[in-house]
């Protein structure tokens, strides 16, 4: 229900906010809900706030798991 996207922190603005970059667009959002966010971190952004840091290692692990699944022929369409 909650639209949120993973964005990269480009700049800390010093007042508890950060400028994030998401696929080429930038916006200033609040870091009030996360601690120790640094430039280069990815955060999940919802309604103008970073909700959580994205664990990049976990993301890579998940993608590796998908890639590592045995290749099955396409299932017939339903």
Partner 1 sequence: MKYVDEFRDGALARNIAAHIALEATAPSGYRLMEFCGGHTHAISRYGIADLLPPNVRMIHGPGCPVCVLPIGRVDQAICLAREQGVILCTYADTLRVPCSDSLTLMRAKADGADVRMVYSTQDALNISRDNPGREVVFFAIGFETTTPPTAVAVRQARTAGLHNFSILCNHVLTPAAMHAILATGSKVALDGFVGPAHVSTVIGSQPYEPFARDYGKPVVIAGFEPLDVMQAILMLVRQVNAGRAEVENEFTRAVSRTGNLKAQALVDECFELRDAFEWRGLGTLPHSALQLRPEFAGFDAELKFGIGYVAVADHKACECAAILRGEKHPRECRIFGTACTPASPVGSCMVSSEGACAAHYTYGRFREAAQ
Partner 2 sequence: MNRNKPEYARGLDIRHGRVEMSHGAGGRAMAQLIAGLFAPAFDNPYLASGNDGALLPQVTGRLVMSSDSHVVSPLFFAGGDIGSLSVHGTINDVAMMGAQPLYLSASFILEEGFPLSDLKRIVDSMSSAAKAAGVPIVTGDTKVVECGKGDGVFITTAGVGVVRDGITLSGELAQPGDAILLSGTIGDHGMAVLSQRENLGFDAPIVSDTAALHGLVDTMLDSGARLRVLRDPTRGGLAATLNEIARQSGVGMMLQESAIPVKRAVESACEFLGLDPLYVANEGKLIAICDAQDAPRLLETMRAHPLACEAAVIGEIVADSYNFVQMTTKLGGRRVVDWLTGEQLPRIC
Binding residues for partner 1, per CB under 8 A? 1-6, 8, 22-23, 29-30, 32-35, 42, 44, 46-49, 51-52, 54-56, 58-59, 61-63, 66-67, 69, 71-78
Q: Which is nearer to partner 1, 11 or 62 (CB)?
A: 62
Q: How far is CA 12 from CA 1, 8, 41, 63, 78, in A?
A: 28, 11, 11, 29, 49
Q: Hey, which residues between 2 and 41 contact partner 2 (CB under 8 A)?
A: 2-3, 5, 22-27
Nearest-angstrom CA–CA distance, 27 and 20? 6
């Amino acid at each position: 229900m909650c639209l949120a996207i993973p964005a990269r922190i480009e700049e800390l603005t010093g007042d508890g906010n950060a400028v994030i970059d998401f696929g080429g667009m930038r916006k200033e959002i609040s870091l009030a809900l996360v601690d120790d966010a640094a430039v280069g971190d990815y955060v999940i952004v919802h309604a103008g706030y970073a909700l959580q840091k994205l664990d990049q290692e976990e993301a890579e692990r998940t993608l590796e798991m998908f890639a590592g699944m045995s290749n099955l022929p396409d299932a017939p369409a339903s």
